[in-house]
Amino acid sequence: MKYFLLTAMCLFYIVAYSQFGPQQIITQTANGSKWIIATDIDGDGYKDVASANEFGSNLTWYKNLDGHGTFGPENIIANLNQTFFISDADIDGDDDMDVMAVSFAQDKIVWYENLDGQGNFSGQNIVSHTADGAYAVVAGDLDGDGDLDLIAAIDLAGTVAWYENLDGLGNFSTIKIIDNTIGSPQFVSVADMDGDGDLDVVGNGTGTSKAYWIENMNGIGSFGTRHVINNAGAYLNVVIPADADGDGDMDAFSASPFDKEVAWYENLDGLGNFGPKSTITDTLENAWTVFAADLDNDGDMDVLATSVETFGGEIVWFENLDGQGNFSSKKIISTEVQSPRSVLAADIDNDGDMDVIASSQNDDKIAWYENYTILSVEENKINSLTVYPNPTKGLIYINPKTKTIISIGVFDLLGKKVLQLEGNIQRIDISTLQSGMYFLRIVTEVGDFVHKIIKE
């Protein structure tokens, strides 16, 4: 009884609590999945999932059927040869999500038009067929003209380059070299690293440029010197920009499989001068990729990562304990994976928190993990809604006053969702639940409210 009361008090005063649910499989036929994205492909307001697969049907997407994470069958976007990367953007300015990808074997950078905004894609639009070992491609407005250009990491050529969107419709220029002296670039991203209002380029490589950024000098795509973020240790698979310490500028995160390391680097002055490496962990076996997101709804950036083994691996996260970049030890989300190569966060079930989606190459699996987050119990006082009787033997009545209820979730003390109801519900039957303390998360048109309930 003492343990129950202590646990209850801790949960009552906590502002945010995060725990991830069991694996929910989207597909087990993503043949050698290398990279995934979560985006609204069909314009229904729900996050769908798309994958770049090394083999078979190379580019595929899966429809989020109900906005709660029930996914439909595989939809084929296209077939490529050895595609390692997929990304999304509105390339042609028609307000839907198109898809970009690369073919390492064919030296291609391509994009596919979302023809109707519902996920029916065009044939291959070739941006380049001479990108020697094309490895990654992303979109960003490098020249400030309001449309999205493409930025690519070209591994075998040792080049990071961009292609100008000439007319805003997806007709691209020939290659514009940003830097062709980088060893084996296999990842690229864009962000404003120096606070001047334009997009710079962030990437990885070998030699003294394991992590770097390259300045957009004039906001129209003229690039300057490569600035080193990190020049020590082994190769970094992924380098991503994000604000680790809450000071409003872009820091950088990295994952290194050979060093078993996930780390971050502080942007000291907001101008792109970086401090030394801050190690989050150096014991994550084959740390493959990294992703930053607020996973516990406390307003700062936490970190997702994967550990890769041939017939195993882990999907893990690290909590940003103070919002200043001091991170917890690893928290395991799942070990039911074989060589997880890609992980990200997105609100799959539309409940206001960030769920986790991951793909694993050697079991051809894509799955998602629900984020069970109980928000701000202390902030949501009982006068916001009337909930009675409390305690209850089974029936709970809710008077929303002037609010319209959208959905109600019932969570146990461990944060596990035990009941979900949709619509303007004003009566709940929890008679089948065991006796104890529960929390109601009531989603209304004006916000979320959390109430403690005792089931007798």
Tokens coding 419: 């009941």
- Ranges of residues in the chain with a pLDDT under 70 are 1-18, 374-384, 402, 413-415
- Quote the pLDDT of residue 33: 97
Gap between the Cα atoms of 97 and 91, Å rounded: 8
- Quote the pLDDT of residue 111: 98
Q: In what helix (H) or strand (E) does residue 10 lie, and over which residues does it extend?
A: helix 2-13
What's the predicted TM-score (pTM) here?
Answer: 0.82
CB proximity list for 396: less than 8 A, separation 6 or greater: 387, 388, 389, 390, 427, 428, 429, 430, 440, 453
- Quote the pLDDT of residue 399: 86
The CA-atom distances, in angstroms, between 13 and each of 117, 231, 248 are 45, 44, 29
Cis peptide before 276 (omega within 30 of 0): no
The model's pLDDT over 395-417, given as tens digits with 9 standing for 90+, comes to: 999 888 767 898 898 887 666 78
Gap between the Cα atoms of 208 and 231, Å rounded: 4
Gap between the Cα atoms of 441 and 407, Å rounded: 8
- Quote the pLDDT of residue 384: 58
Closest CA to 361 of 337, 381, 382, 385: 337
- Quote the pLDDT of residue 374: 55
Gap between the Cα atoms of 227 and 202, Å rounded: 9
DSSP reduced 3-state for 204 = strand
Long-range contacts of 178-183, Cβ-Cβ distance < 8 Å, separation of 24 or more: 178/151, 178/214, 178/223, 179/214, 179/223, 179/226, 181/226, 182/158, 182/206, 182/209, 182/212, 182/226, 183/158, 183/207, 183/209
The model's pLDDT over 187-216, given as tens digits with 9 standing for 90+, comes to: 999 999 999 999 999 999 998 889 999 999
Gap between the Cα atoms of 301 and 288, Å rounded: 19
Closest CA to 318 of 341, 353, 291: 291
- Quote the pLDDT of residue 378: 40
